[in-house]
Structure 1
Amino acid sequence: MFRFAIRSSLPILRRASPLAHRHLTTEARSQIQKAITARPLVLFMKGTPALPECGFSRAVVQVLDLHGVPPEKMQSYNVLADPELRSGIKEFSEWPTIPQLYVNGEFLGGCDILLGMHQSGELEKLLIENDIIPEELPAEGTQAPAS
C-alpha cells in the first residue's frame, strides 16, 4: 500500500516540480550573481584551494594550478561553511554537484567537464581568451615583461 501511494503521487510531483523546488530567494540569487561576477574565475567547492575537502574539488584546484591561474584572478567559496550557499548554488546553476566553476560570470561546469576540457586543450584556450592566464607563462627565473 505504501509503495502504491508513492508511485501514484510521483506524476503530481513531476508536474509541480518547476515551482515546487524553487527555494532560492531573490536576495540569495542576487548575492550569488554578484559573487560569480566579482572575479574572472569563481569556484564553488568543498573546502578551500589550500585544503580541499573532497577529491573532485581537489582535482579542479590541481587543474587550475597546472594552468597557472593567478590567485588574484580567482575567488573560491567553501560551500561546506554555508549550507544555504551549498544548496543555493545548485539551484542557481541548475547543476546538482559541487564543485562548480564560473568564468567571467558564465557557468562552465563541474569537475568532469573541467577535466574533459583540460584534456582536450579547450580549458587553456578559454582561460587565455578570458585573460585569466597569459598566452605563454614566463620561464622560471625570468620576469615577465613590464607593461
Structure 2
Amino acid sequence: MDAQAKIKETVTSNKVVLYMKGSPKFPQCGFSNVATQILDACGAEFVAVDVLQDMDIREGIKQYANWPTIPQLYVKGEFIGGADIMRSMYQSGELQTLLSEA
C-alpha cells in the first residue's frame, strides 16, 4: 500500500488522528507537544501517528493535505490544521465542539 492510500485509510477509519513528530508521551518538537496538550485538554481520544518512524508517511502527509508542516490534525477524515490553527480553535471553543461531535 502506498503512503497516500495508507494515510487515507488511517484518517477515514479513525475519528481523530494527529500526525506528529514523536509520540504523545514523548513529542519530538514543540508544535507536536502543543498539539497533544490541546487534544488532552479537550479530553479527546485520538490516534497519534509518529511521522519520524516512516519517511514515506512524513513526506506523504504534506502532499495529502497540501500542508507543508507537521503536526496535522484530522477529524472524521477532514484536515483541520496544524498547531497554530488548533490553538486558535481551542481558544474560541470551536475545537472542543468539533471534537465532542466526533
Same fold judged by TM-score > 0.5? yes
Give the secondary-structure state (helix, strand or coil) at the position aligned to 2:5: helix
Structure 1 position 94, deviation (Å): 0.1
Q: Deviations over 1:3-28 (max 9, x none)?
A: xxxxxxxxxxxxxxxxxxxxxxx832
From 49, 64, 72, give the equivalent of 1:92: 64
Q: Percent identity?
A: 49
Give the secondary-structure state (helix, strand or coil) at the position aligned to 2:84: helix
Aligned to 2:9: 34
**1:112-131 correspondence to structure 2 within 5 Å:** 112-130=84-102
From 63, 81, 101, give the equivalent of 2:38: 63
Normalising by structure 1, report the TM-score.
Answer: 0.67
Structure 1: runs of 5+ lacking an equivalent: 1-25, 131-147
Q: CA separation in 1, counterparts of 2:32 and 2:40?
A: 12
Q: CA separation in 2, counterparts of 1:28 and 1:63?
A: 27
Structure 2: runs of 5+ lacking an equivalent: none
Q: CA separation in 1, counterparts of 2:89 and 2:67?
A: 17
Aligned to 2:27: 52
**One-letter identity of the residue aligned with 1:106:** E
Give the secondary-structure state (helix, strand or coil) at the position aligned to 2:80: strand
Normalising by structure 2, report the TM-score.
Answer: 0.95
Aligned-residue CA RMSD (Å): 1.2
**One-letter identity of the residue aligned with 1:58:** N
Over 3 Å off, 4+ runs: none
Structure 1 position 38, deviation (Å): 2.0
Structure 1 position 56, deviation (Å): 0.2
Greater RCO between the two (CA within 8 Å, min separation 6)?
2
Report how many residues are paired. 102
